[in-house]
Each structure stands twice: as C-alpha cells, then as structure tokens.
Amino acid sequence: MSAPEASSALGLRLPATEPTAQPAVPTIPWYTRHAVTLGSLAFGVAFLLTWQLLPPALGVPSYIIPTVSDLIAEAGRMAARERLIYHFASTFFIGSIGFIVGSLLGAAIGYVLGMSTLLEKILSPYLLGLQIAPKVAFAPLFIMWLGYNAWPKLIVTILVVFFPILVNVLQSMKTVDRDMINLARAYSMSRMQIFWKIEVPASMPALMAGLRIGATLAVIGVTVGELVGGNTGLGYLITFGEGQANTAMVFNAIILLTIIGIVLYGVVAFIEARVLHYIPRAIR
C-alpha cells in the first residue's frame, strides 16, 4: 500500500485521512425543494377543473351543482345587487368582536377559577354541563329576548368561543409545575407575582390552543346566529339563497365564511408564533 497508514490504539490499521477538497454537494433542483407546495397547488387546480367540467358532463343542472364560473358570476351579481360586501363585513365584524370578547371572558374566568380551587370545585359540575350543552341552540332564545338585531348573533358567538378557552386556561393553571411555584414561594414571591411571572406565561401554550379552537368556532357561532334570525350577514344570505333555490349564492356565502375563519385562525397562528417563540419549532 502506498498511502501512509495510522494505527489506532487497538492496533487497527486505519487509512490516514488526508485533507481533500470537499466533493461538491449536488444542489437540489427547485421542483424538488417545493414539491409539497407544487403538489398542493396541482391538487387545487385539478379539483377546480373537475368541479367546473364534471357536473355539466354528467348532465347535473347548475341549480343543483353550480360550476366554478357560475359561482364567480353569481359573486359579481351578489356584490352588485345583494350588498354582498355589507353582509360580508357584518359577519366578519360580529364574528371578530365575538371572538375577541369571548376569548377575553373565557381567559379571565379561567384564570380566576384557576386561582381559586374552592370556587373551581363548586362550579365545575355546572361548567361541565354548560360546556356540553349545544350553545348554538340558545340562539332562538336570545332572539326572543333581544329581537332581530346584532346582539343575539354576538352573544351566541361569545358563548361558543368562551368555553374551550376557559377550559384550556383552567386546565393549564391546574397543571403548573408545583416545584416551580414552590421555587417562587421560596424566593418570597407574592401570590400575584407567582400568577404573573409563572402561571400566566406557563398557560400560554394552552391559551393559544384554545384560541385556535375558538377562531373556528366563532364562525360557526355567528353563522348560526344569522341563520336563525335577522336580515344581515352571510348566514342570512344562505337562508335567502335557499329560499330562492339559488345554490350558487349558498356556495359563495359558505366560501366567504370559510375565508373569515381562515383569517381569524391566521391571526391566532401569527400571534402564537410570536408568543411561543421560546418553544423549539419541532415540538410546537
């Protein structure tokens, strides 16, 4: 053998490692790096094309399943004739306000109950009952009490958002590491210092998970409120479209409601990425 060889401690003859030029790592082509994105896009395009072409090919009339181009045309008509922007804005506004108020109330009460074990124990069976009760079924009651205006929709939305956030916050308050609290106590921290410095930050992952759930539920709450009563909002357009056998209108309203949900969810995800920056990405 011509190359010099080094012997290891065990007397094994190992080939000497010589500093050699690093072999060029082949660069990954762009279509491999973005394979997932491209795949998703391709699926979306294929889905829309199928929707556009398949029902007419099978002879399904457009009042049963409107094509994509029917939907776009109807959206234009709705914007011009049915005050679509106004209805969309109303739903978006009430959904957002309901989500924010419901989240604040849910979190606040979750923290209060989390700090008072006694109160939590006394109220927990009722909380469980209310959590299980279908909140949207209260909508007709609120309409009877408050009339055909924005309040019933707002209250249903708040109610729907409230519970998952309360439950998540309460659960996280109950599972804060006791040793962490004892450490703070040993440092002579007050109850409020322990709350603000340990319990509140420790509950953030659970609060954020609750907000994600709440964001999707807010859209359900406001939609049911609008379906049941009133003459405003995308939920109203759904019942109005139903009355006219206008499936395209119903489809459009559903798509816009979904967009509102995505926006709310996106805002939560955006806030979460900033609040929970200290959690490594792989775990989050």
The binding site for other proteins (CB under 8 A) comprises 177, 179-180, 182-190, 193, 197-198, 201, 204, 278-280
**Smallest distance, Å, CB 194 to other proteins?**
10
**Smallest distance, Å, CB 90 to other proteins?**
38
Report the DSSP pairing between strands 5-7 and 13-15. antiparallel
**Smallest distance, Å, CB 164 to other proteins?**
23
Minimum CB distance to other proteins smaller for 68 or for 189: 189
Burial classification of residue 79, based on how many CB atoms lie within 10 Å of its CB (0-12 exposed, 13-18 middle, 19 or more buried): middle
Minimum CB distance to other proteins smaller for 95 or for 114: 114
Go through 106-123 and write b for each residue having 16 or more CB atoms within 10 A of its CB, e for each that does not: bbebbbebbeeeeebeee
Rg, C-alpha atoms of the chain = 28
Eight-state DSSP code of residue 21 = P
Minimum CB distance to other proteins smaller for 204 or for 254: 204
**Smallest distance, Å, CB 276 to other proteins?**
8
DSSP 114-146: HH-HHHHHHHHHHHHHHHHS-GGGGHHHHHHHH
Eight-state DSSP code of residue 197 = I
**Smallest distance, Å, CB 180 to other proteins?**
6
Minimum CB distance to other proteins smaller for 24 or for 118: 118
Eight-state DSSP code of residue 196 = I
Minimum CB distance to other proteins smaller for 141 or for 273: 273
